[in-house]
Chain A
Amino acid sequence: MSPSTRVPEQGVTSTVPLQDVSSTVRRDQARRLLPWVLGLVTVLAALALQSQLYSGQERTVATIFMFVALAEAWNLIGGFAGYASFGQVVFFGVGGYFTAVAISHWHFSFWVSLLLSGVVAALFATLIGIPLLRLKGHYFAVATLGVAEGMREIVTNLPDLTGGGAGITVPTVGNNATTAYLGNDGFYLLFLALAALSVLVAGLVARNKFGYALRAINQDEDAAAAMGINTTRAKVLAFALSGFITGLVGASYAFQQVTIFPERLFDVDITVLMIIMVVIGGSGTVLGPLLGAVALQFLSEFLRQNFTDLHTFILGGIIVVAVILLPQGLVNYVHEARRTKEYSLLANVRRYRL
Chain B
Amino acid sequence: MSAVPVLETRGLGRHFGGLQAVADVSVSVPEGQVLGVIGPNGAGKSTFINLVTGHIKPTEGQVLIDGKDLTGARPWAIAHARVARTFQIVKPFRGMSVRENVAIGILYGPQGTNVMSRALKAADEVLEEVGIADMGDRPPGELSVADARRLEFAKALALRPRLLLLDEVMAGLRHTEIEPSLELIRKLKARGVTIIVVEHVMKAILAVSDQVLVLHQGKILTSGDPREVLSDPRVIEAYLGHRYAKRREGDS
Contacts and interface: CB of A to CB of B under 8 A. Distances in A.
Nearest to B116: A209
A229 interface: yes
Interface string A219-248: 110111111111110000000000000000
A301 to B, nearest CB: 33
B118 to A, nearest CB: 11
Contacts of A277: none
A228 B109 CA distance: 5
B244 interface: no
A225 B77 CA distance: 9
Given A222-B55, A223-B93, A228 B155 contact: no
B96 A228 contact: no
Interface stretch (A182-190, A210-218, A257-265, A344-352): A210-218
Nearest to B54: A225
Contacts of B94: 219
B191 to A, nearest CB: 20
Interface in A191-219: 207, 209, 212-213, 215-216, 218-219
Contact of B91 (A209, A212, A220, A230): A220
Interface stretch (B35-43, B99-107, B172-180, B233-241): B99-107
A284 interface: yes
Contacts of B158: 227
Contact of B109 (A222, A223, A227, A230): A227
Contacts of A222: 55, 75, 87
B107 A212 contact: yes
Contacts of B84: 226
A227 B116 CA distance: 16
Interface in B76-98: 76, 78-80, 84-85, 87, 91-96
A207 B114 CA distance: 12
A223 B87 contact: yes
B53 interface: yes
A223 B105 CA distance: 10
B53 A229 contact: no
Contacts, number: 78
B155 A227 contact: yes
A228 B105 contact: yes
Contact of A226 (B53, B92, B95, B96): B53
A209 B79 CA distance: 17
Contacts of A215: 93, 95-96
Main SS at interface, chain A: helix
Contacts of B76: 225-231
Contacts of A230: 74, 76
Contact of A228 (B79, B91, B93): B79
Interface residues of A, number: 21
Interface residues of B, number: 32
A213 B101 CA distance: 10
B91 A213 contact: no
B96 A227 contact: no
A207 B91 CA distance: 23
B122 to A, nearest CB: 13
A216 B104 contact: yes
Interface in A9-36: none
Contacts of B53: 226
B94, B95, B112, B159 pick with most chain A CB within 10 angstroms? B95
B226 interface: no
A229 B75 CA distance: 8
Nearest to B105: A227
A284 B94 CA distance: 12
A218, A220, A228 pick with most chain B CB within 10 angstroms? A228
Contacts of A228: 76, 79-80, 105, 108-110, 112, 159
A216 B106 CA distance: 13
Contacts of B107: 209, 212-213
Contacts of A232: 74
Nearest to A232: B74
Contacts of B159: 227-228
B130 to A, nearest CB: 15
Contacts of B75: 222, 225-226
Nearest to A332: B95
A212 B100 contact: yes
B120 to A, nearest CB: 11
Contacts of B54: 225
A218 B93 CA distance: 8
Contacts of A216: 93, 96, 104
B55 A212 contact: no
B108 A227 contact: yes
Contacts of A218: 95
A212 B155 contact: no
Interface string B150-165: 0000010011000000
A213 B155 contact: no
Contacts of A209: 107-108, 114, 116
Q: Which A-B residue pairs are the 5 nearest by beta carbons?
A: A225-B75, A228-B108, A228-B79, A219-B93, A228-B109
13 contacts: A212-B96, A213-B107, A213-B108, A215-B96, A216-B96, A216-B104, A218-B95, A223-B155, A227-B104, A227-B158, A227-B159, A228-B105, A228-B110
